[in-house]
């Protein structure tokens, strides 16, 4: 199996679970705390994460030229 085919079947995006509620939004400080507590160094260039609390999930990516995180709250059905 070629890597390209493998990546189509398997989501390799790291998922970080926290055992407490992060509220309705997620701040930069919360993002960085969750990422570093999971053992990833900052800055997290070229890495996208799923961050999942007790009931909500976000897709998070750091953009170095902007020094900001892009965050998308995922709908849970």
Specify the pLDDT at position 6.
62
H or E element that contains 13? none
Find the helix or strand (DSSP H, E) in which 6 lies: helix 3-9
* pTM, entire model: 0.83
Residue 1 pLDDT: 61
Contact between 44 and 35 (Cβ < 8 Å) = yes
Please state, as a whole number, how many other Cβ atoms lie within 10 Å of the Cβ of residue 62: 21
* pLDDT score, position 12: 72
Residues of the chain with pLDDT under 70: 1, 3-8, 11
Residue 60 has a CB neighbour count (10 Å cut-off) of 21
């Amino acid at each position: 199996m070629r890597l390209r085919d493998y990546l189509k079947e398997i989501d390799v995006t790291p998922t970080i679970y926290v055992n407490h509620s992060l509220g309705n939004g997620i701040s930069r400080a919360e993002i960085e705390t969750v990422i570093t507590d999971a053992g990833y160094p900052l800055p997290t260039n070229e890495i996208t994460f799923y961050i999942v609390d007790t009931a909500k999930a976000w897709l998070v990516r750091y953009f170095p030229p902007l020094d900001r995180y892009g965050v998308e709250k995922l709908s849970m059905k």
